Structure 1
């Protein structure tokens, strides 16, 4: 629960620290500008709020690992929601309006997470899981998107190291293998999710596991 708050707070602070010009830069999500990513984060924050007030009966059907679906190919921009996000982000016009909307909804999502009962079962995407597992899954979401946010902003603060470490551990559980010890947490996440290609040396270290990458999470 605390790691969710720390990761989300760092990501919100990262967006707050952007200049207006930064919103027109490319981000780490293929085909998206920073403003598109920030708009996506608004929708993510709304999803957190909705899920935390959607209690579920019965046993959990997923945890922080099985919450994630692994796709066979990266997004191509044809998904209706992806296309909507790009149009919606452009409609804001003034980056300040988008920044304000994320701060408003994002702060509410953060407060809701802090107040939630970790043992409560909630429903989202036809899955039932505890609040603790749901928020743990979102540590990976926030960490990856923090890396996306700063992909072309080398001076921007990175995600918290404990969030990077927990996200790597989650990704390794999803993948079913551990990345080589020589990989930093950041590199494991970037290479593992296809945000950058492995170097020849990294590919050699991955061995047979390299054929299973990237893991496109959804």
Structure 2
């Protein structure tokens, strides 16, 4: 849970670094500008707040790894919520408003996470997890979106070493296979989730794992 807080704080700090013109740059999420990604983070922060106050009285059905469902195709961009996110982002008009709303809701989500009992059972997406597992799962979410944020903004601070390492570990558990030791954590996450295509040399190193990639997490 501490890593959740550190990963989230790092992501919020990176957004705070952005210049107004950065919001119109492409992000690492296909078809989304940086402003769309930041709007998505606001919705994610709201989801965290909602989930942490939605207790469940049944046994957990998922943990931090099995929380993730793997799809075989990338998002097509026609999902109603994805389309709404883009419209909402455009409606803000001023980057400062997006920055303010994320800081406001994001700070509240961070405080709620620090106050949460890790053993509390919570319900989300029709599943039950402990709050600790739910927040641990979000370390992967924050780290991937932090990579998306800085994909075309090399001067903006990227995710932490510990966040990258933990996210790689979770992705390897989802994949039930380890990425080559020669891959950096950033490369393992980017290639593993389809954020970039592997080079010919990387494909050779991946071996049989290559046919199972990328993993589209939802």
TM-score category, normalised to shorter length:
over 0.9
User: Which runs of structure 2 are paired with 1:77-156 in the superposition (5 Å)?
Assistant: 77-156=77-156
> Any idea what SS the aligned residue of 2:128 has?
strand
> Any idea what SS the aligned residue of 1:152 has?
coil
Q: Distance in 2 between matches of 1:82 and 1:30?
A: 11
Q: Distance in 2 between matches of 1:58 and 1:87?
A: 37
Where structure 1 has 5 or more consecutive residues not aligned to the other structure, the ranges are none
Name the structure 1 match of 2:31. 31
Q: Distance in 1 between matches of 2:198 and 2:60?
A: 36
Where structure 2 has 5 or more consecutive residues not aligned to the other structure, the ranges are none
Q: Distance in 1 between matches of 2:158 and 2:92?
A: 26
> Any idea what SS the aligned residue of 2:129 has?
strand
Normalised by the length of structure 2, the TM-score is: 0.99
Q: Distance in 2 between matches of 1:9 and 1:35?
A: 18
Q: CA deviation at 1:155?
A: 1.4
Name the structure 2 match of 1:56. 56
Name the structure 2 match of 1:72. 72
Q: CA deviation at 1:68?
A: 0.4
Q: Tell me if 1:177 matches 2:177.
A: yes
Q: Give every structure 1 segment of 4 or more consecutive aligned residues whose post-TM-superposition deviation is greater than 4 Å.
A: none
Q: CA deviation at 1:153?
A: 0.7
Name the structure 2 match of 1:198. 198
CA deviation vs aligned residue, 1:10-53 (integer Å, no higher than 9, x gap): 00000000000000000000000000000000000000000000
Q: Distance in 2 between matches of 1:28 and 1:179?
A: 21
> Any idea what SS the aligned residue of 2:123 has?
strand
Q: CA deviation at 1:212?
A: 0.3
CA deviation vs aligned residue, 1:110-136 (integer Å, no higher than 9, x gap): 000000000001000011000110000
Q: Tell me if 1:164 matches 2:148.
A: no
> Any idea what SS the aligned residue of 2:63 has?
coil
Number of residue pairs the alignment of both structures matches? 218
Q: Distance in 2 between matches of 1:47 and 1:208?
A: 36
Q: Tell me if 1:209 matches 2:212.
A: no
Name the structure 1 match of 2:46. 46
